Amino acid sequence: MLAVIRVRGEVDVNPAIKKTLRLLRLDRINHLVLVDEALMPMLRKAQSRITFGEIDLGTAAVLLQKRGRLAGGKRLGEGFLKEKKFKGFEEAAKALLEKKAKPESIGIKPIFMLGPPKGSYERAGIKKPYALGGALGYRGADINLLIKRMV
């Protein structure tokens, strides 16, 4: 499972990339979605506007606990998870990462609204790839560090 975060806005965006971002449900800056590895061609196409990588279980549990929302914008709580037969946030995160459940089937909004990262993005900013010290493109397991700074 990959975590995808929109880093850059909508100014001067190629229409094909704009459509790809809309299909990924990334309409605003600092929004995160969890997607399958099968969507990698879409991520490669839009990598000039997003950053992505593999999310781990601990980060997914923290993400659900702090930024998970139900329909109507209500916070995700332990009581709701127990109604859905989960013991806690870690078990729900494990089900999401192992593709046993989708956020929509649990009743969670598929988009996680994050804040800007504490300490800003990487030194080279949001216009360069991660490999060159920037914030864009594939970053592997380092996405977990960014998510923890944004939650």
Sequence spans of domains, the chain:
1-151
- The CATH code belonging to domain 1-151 is 3.30.1390.20
CA pair distance 117, 19, nearest whole angstrom: 26
- Residue-wise pLDDT for 20-71, tens only, equals 999 999 999 999 999 999 999 999 999 999 999 999 999 999 999 999 999 8
Task: State the pLDDT at residue 54.
Answer: 97
Question: How confident is the model over 78-114, as pLDDT tens digits?
Answer: 889 889 888 889 999 999 999 998 888 888 999 999 9
Residue 118 CA, chain-centre distance (Å), reads 16
The predicted structure's pLDDT at residue 12: 92
Q: Are strands 31-35 and 111-113 parallel, antiparallel or unpaired?
A: antiparallel
Q: Whole-model pTM?
A: 0.92
Residues 6+ positions from 65 with CB-CB distance below 8 Å: 76, 89
Which residue in this structure is represented by tokens 């790809």? 20
